[in-house]
A and B are shown apart, each in its own frame.
Chain A
Amino acid sequence: MNAAVQAGNVGETLVFWICAFFSVLGALGLIVSRKAVHSALWMALVMINLAILFVANSAPFLGMAQIVVYTGAVMMLFLFVLMMVGVDSSDSLIETIKGQRVAGILLGIGMGLLLVFGLGSALTNSTSVGLDAANGVDKGNVQGIAHLIFTDYLIPFEVTSALLITAALGAMVLAHRERWIPRLTQMQLSRARFAGSGHPGNLPNPGIYARHNAVDTPALLPDGSTTDLSIPGPLVARGGIRPVDHAEVDEVAAITDGGQS
């Protein structure tokens, strides 16, 4: 890679501008896309372009780590989660806070300008140190990083493990759900279903014959009354059942009666 840098700057410049364009595009797409999955994919684009830039800057290890860890592992995990939540779910983009969007755009532009000019003026006439120093005596990325990790940054490196343990512990605390009743076997389950006085078959789905089919809308029985069986248990426990507007039931009845006569 060092050879490429020395060979000439035209290629590198070209790579930079292409990757820069795509990573900025990706970043903007990440923000403006309506669906979370799209955002995740835009994010992947950013990551890949950054990886290319790293490689082009003679940091192949970092580039590869970027692709393997971020694009490969982290982004895939993101996507898994999004798939589980529901690919179709999208956030409302209607801004409810007055002035938020305008202020956000203005401040964002202001911040951007400050950074661009600040960094621009600072970096235009600075000389780069060169990679040989960074890669160290071993003339290699991996060796250089290893060197740093085990010498200068030994303590930060080791303390990072505390961070990882905390993260694992946190994930357990937030997501691990213990069973508080012993798991029933298939046989016990079917016994319970048929021996008890309960409903052996499928329970009615919510919203059957009703105006809405939202989960909290009880199904209507033929006589126009509702059945709470059609509502998921937790909702019943919380009392979150949408009451049925009997005017609507009557209206439906009137329509169907009218059709018959």
Chain B
Amino acid sequence: MNGTVALSAADLQQVTPATGIFTLIALLIALPLAGAAILLLGGRRTNRWGPYLGVLTVTGSAVLAIVMLVKLMSLPTGSRSIGQNLYQWVFAGSFKVNFAFQLDQLSIVFVLLITIVGTLIHIYSLGYMAHDVDRRKFFGYLNLFVAAMLILVLAGNYLLLYVGWEGVGLASYLLIGFWQYKPAAAAAAKKAFVINRVGDVGLSLAIMVMFVTFGTVNYSDVFGSASHASQGTLTAIGLLLLLAACGKSAQFPLQSWLLDAMEGPTPVSALIHAATMVTAGVYLIVRSNAIFDRAPWAAGMVIAIGIITMFMGAIIGSAKDDIKKSLAGSTMSQIGYMITAAGLGPIGYVFAIFHLLTHGVFKAGLFLGAGSVMHGMKDNVNMRMYGALRKVMVVTFITFGACYLSIIGIPPFSGFWSKDDIIHAAFERGTLIGVAGVLVAGITGFYMTRMVAMTFFGKARWEDDAHPHESPKVMTIPLVILGVGAVVLGMALLFWGNIKTWLEPVTGLTEAPTVIPDWAIMTISLACVLVGAAIAFVMYARRSVPTTAPRGSWLTRAAREELYGNEVNNTLVVRPSYYASRVLNWFDARAIDGFVNGLGGFTGAAGTRLRRMQTGFARSYALSMVGGAVLVILALVLVRL
């Protein structure tokens, strides 16, 4: 496959300046940004009407995005890439970066996903967060997130993308830690921040290498001159971008923050940690297709990472009893699918985005459904305490069920079309990759059925004071819309929207023959799913589920511990840096002094200090200067030798 590198369509498609409705691209971002500013800076005055303003701004963006889509569809195929330059941001010598947006076939689908799902989740939150004292701030953060995410996908160059990238990181951080009084939430926010920064290193280095290699960071210029760069440089850029994608999209080995991030409010989990932000990594790789197409080794790494995470997520999802964590594992796994598809090259980009869209809708539906269940069960997340909820929460059950059928890939639900396409593309690249996809589809069938069975079927295992009830309309209506989306979106995009030809100008699309015939692939994967689902149904709906988790096999235990991702992090990163800091601190006598200070009060400590000074602490500083002098001289002299 490597030999037949398709010329990236980005080289062909020219960016045309914005006219007409497209001059309002900046307004897409400005609306939620203004909402965030008003809500966060306005203080208590906005408490009463603030949340509604937050909903309105996002709705406005969604309407505008739909209008733009219609307009874009009316344009001829080759001129659907619109650029809008606000002003010249950085300009130094030959280096120019514009504050420029680019709206094309790829970004518009993201904009639609973000704004429409975003609107639904905003509306849902009106009900879900109704009793929270900091409701206004919550909507402010959500608006901030939407604005940053739109900057990310609408950016016309990597530097502006980086702005959005950091922005969504910040918003995600604020929202995970929204209930800061829970220590777990604060810890989770911190963890997400730290791990995401690791990914950000990759992105910032990639941008710098691009700048040095190409002298520009504009999409069109970088992709246009990608063929002139050396293989090594492109591989380096590709791997750095992959590192960035791993951080943001919770892929191995930077996956561990996503499960903890479920400490945030459920609408946040739905919007940020399922539908949009975590898919930014997929966007980054697909957007940079011109680079990955020319760096096959980096693309191979993308596939490897995708497959590993696909399995990890599915296994973790199968063992967790916490409904949100189980869904988070599922998200990891599904993004693994997308990353794998993106690594496949021009045969997979389109399907990565296709699956991303359908997943965005049905996973948001699943999370909101889970939120609805939790709402009725007094915020209990343990599925072992659920059971038989299908009778009391009918709307939730039906919508959840639709999303469930979609994710496990039952035709004609959305997930079936997109996942089948990915598996098919995987078989085009190599049978082993395809087999991995089929196996994970089977595990998906297992863990999702387990979730549905434990929640909605079997006997009621409710806690004594639980009085499950259906959620209010403001929550169920978004659920219904997402449920309908889970049913029809796949077909709509495939047959009516013609997603493949729509995206082709940006991502390219090639097809390759497979060893196994198409119908066989579909049948095998469906069979796998059904077997997995059947096992789970027998285990969790037919038999009774114990309310405390049995010890389980080593695999179950490992999966409950998130396959020891945290332990690995601790051993490899946290502990060494802790010791390094301690060792370095040894030179800083005051660090310990600060402790004394806290104990002894000011006067005593100051006295201690003065006494210490008289014994000549400065001399140890002077000593280190002499050490430094020796070092400096040696460094200079040794170079000459």
**Complex contact flag A–B (Cβ < 8 Å):** yes
* A170 in the interface (beta carbon within 8 A): no
B626 proximity list for chain A (CB < 8 A): 104, 107-108, 111
Question: Which one of B623, B634, B637 contacts A103 once the chains associate, using CB atoms below 8 Å?
Answer: B623
B619 proximity list for chain A (CB < 8 A): 97, 100, 104
Cα of A212 to Cα of B641 in the assembled complex, Å? 65
Question: Which one of B615, B620, B630, B637 contacts A111 once the chains associate, using CB atoms below 8 Å?
Answer: B630
* A160 in the interface (beta carbon within 8 A): no
* A92 in the interface (beta carbon within 8 A): yes
A92 proximity list for chain B (CB < 8 A): 615
B615 proximity list for chain A (CB < 8 A): 92, 96
* B629 in the interface (beta carbon within 8 A): yes
A107 engages B620 (CB within 8 Å): no
Question: Which one of B623, B629, B633, B637 contacts A100 once the chains associate, using CB atoms below 8 Å?
Answer: B623
A111 engages B623 (CB within 8 Å): no
Interface bits A77-114 vs B (CB < 8 Å: 1, else 0): 00000000000000010001100100110011011001
Min CB–CB distance B461 → chain A (angstroms): 62
A114 engages B633 (CB within 8 Å): yes
Cα of A225 to Cα of B619 in the assembled complex, Å? 45
| A163-201 at interface with B (beta carbon < 8 Å) | none
B620 engages A97 (CB within 8 Å): yes
* A118 in the interface (beta carbon within 8 A): yes
* B42 in the interface (beta carbon within 8 A): no
| B591-641 at interface with A (beta carbon < 8 Å) | 615, 617, 619-620, 623, 626-627, 629-630, 633-634, 637
Cα of A118 to Cα of B619 in the assembled complex, Å? 26
A114 engages B630 (CB within 8 Å): yes
B637 proximity list for chain A (CB < 8 A): 114, 118
Residue on B with the closest CB to A92?
B615
Contact A107-B633, Cβ < 8 Å, known A97-B620, A100-B619, A100-B620: no
Residue on A with the closest CB to B634?
A114
Residue of A107, A110, A118 with highest tally of chain B CB at under 10 A: A107
Cα of A111 to Cα of B630 in the assembled complex, Å? 6
Question: Which one of A96, A107, A110, A118 contacts B623 once the chains associate, using CB atoms below 8 Å?
Answer: A107
Query: What does DSSP make chain A's interface, helix, strand, loop or mixed?
Result: helix
B627 proximity list for chain A (CB < 8 A): 103, 107
Residue on A with the closest CB to B625?
A107
A104 proximity list for chain B (CB < 8 A): 619, 623, 626
Residue on A with the closest CB to B626?
A107
A100 proximity list for chain B (CB < 8 A): 619-620, 623
| B467-487 at interface with A (beta carbon < 8 Å) | none
Cα of A97 to Cα of B637 in the assembled complex, Å? 31
Cα of A136 to Cα of B533 in the assembled complex, Å? 101
Residue on A with the closest CB to B629?
A111
A107 proximity list for chain B (CB < 8 A): 623, 626-627, 630
Cα of A114 to Cα of B620 in the assembled complex, Å? 21
B617 proximity list for chain A (CB < 8 A): 97
Cα of A237 to Cα of B569 in the assembled complex, Å? 57
Counting contact residues on chain A (CB < 8 A from B), the size range is 10 to 19
Min CB–CB distance B593 → chain A (angstroms): 14
Min CB–CB distance A190 → chain B (angstroms): 39
Min CB–CB distance A51 → chain B (angstroms): 28
Cα of A100 to Cα of B616 in the assembled complex, Å? 11
A114 proximity list for chain B (CB < 8 A): 630, 633-634, 637
Cα of A103 to Cα of B625 in the assembled complex, Å? 12
Cα of A206 to Cα of B73 in the assembled complex, Å? 99
Cα of A108 to Cα of B625 in the assembled complex, Å? 11
Residue on B with the closest CB to A97?
B620
B620 proximity list for chain A (CB < 8 A): 97, 100
Residue on A with the closest CB to B622?
A104
Min CB–CB distance A119 → chain B (angstroms): 11
Cα of A97 to Cα of B622 in the assembled complex, Å? 13
A96 proximity list for chain B (CB < 8 A): 615
Min CB–CB distance A29 → chain B (angstroms): 19
| B1-32 at interface with A (beta carbon < 8 Å) | none
Cα of A97 to Cα of B615 in the assembled complex, Å? 9
B634 proximity list for chain A (CB < 8 A): 114
Residue on A with the closest CB to B633?
A114
Cα of A111 to Cα of B623 in the assembled complex, Å? 11
Cα of A108 to Cα of B626 in the assembled complex, Å? 8
B629 proximity list for chain A (CB < 8 A): 111
A97 proximity list for chain B (CB < 8 A): 617, 619-620
Cα of A96 to Cα of B617 in the assembled complex, Å? 10
Cα of A100 to Cα of B617 in the assembled complex, Å? 10
Cα of A108 to Cα of B630 in the assembled complex, Å? 9
Cα of A110 to Cα of B629 in the assembled complex, Å? 10
Residue on B with the closest CB to A117?
B637
Residue on B with the closest CB to A108?
B626
Min CB–CB distance A104 → chain B (angstroms): 5
Cα of A8 to Cα of B637 in the assembled complex, Å? 36
Cα of A114 to Cα of B637 in the assembled complex, Å? 9
A118 engages B630 (CB within 8 Å): no
Cα of A104 to Cα of B617 in the assembled complex, Å? 13
Cα of A113 to Cα of B626 in the assembled complex, Å? 13
Cα of A96 to Cα of B615 in the assembled complex, Å? 8
| A214-252 at interface with B (beta carbon < 8 Å) | none
Residue on B with the closest CB to A104?
B623
A111 proximity list for chain B (CB < 8 A): 626, 629-630, 633
Cα of A114 to Cα of B632 in the assembled complex, Å? 11
Interface bits A35-47 vs B (CB < 8 Å: 1, else 0): 0000000000000
Residue on B with the closest CB to A110?
B630
Cα of A200 to Cα of B629 in the assembled complex, Å? 62
B630 proximity list for chain A (CB < 8 A): 107, 110-111, 114
| B334-361 at interface with A (beta carbon < 8 Å) | none
Residue on A with the closest CB to B615?
A96
Min CB–CB distance B588 → chain A (angstroms): 13
Cα of A104 to Cα of B620 in the assembled complex, Å? 9
Min CB–CB distance A115 → chain B (angstroms): 8
Cα of A71 to Cα of B218 in the assembled complex, Å? 70
Residue on A with the closest CB to B617?
A97
Cα of A104 to Cα of B627 in the assembled complex, Å? 9
Cα of A104 to Cα of B615 in the assembled complex, Å? 16
Cα of A92 to Cα of B612 in the assembled complex, Å? 13
Min CB–CB distance B589 → chain A (angstroms): 9
Min CB–CB distance A98 → chain B (angstroms): 10
Can you list 29 A-B pairs with a CB-CB distance of less than 8 A? Answer: A92-B615, A96-B615, A97-B617, A97-B619, A97-B620, A100-B619, A100-B620, A100-B623, A103-B623, A103-B627, A104-B619, A104-B623, A104-B626, A107-B623, A107-B626, A107-B627, A107-B630, A108-B626, A110-B630, A111-B626, A111-B629, A111-B630, A111-B633, A114-B630, A114-B633, A114-B634, A114-B637, A118-B633, A118-B637
Nearest first, the 10 A-B pairs at minimum CB distance are A107-B626, A114-B633, A110-B630, A104-B623, A107-B627, A97-B620, A96-B615, A111-B630, A100-B620, A107-B630
Given A96-B615, A118-B633, list of 7 further CB < 8 A pairs?
Answer: A100-B623, A103-B627, A104-B623, A107-B627, A114-B630, A114-B637, A118-B637
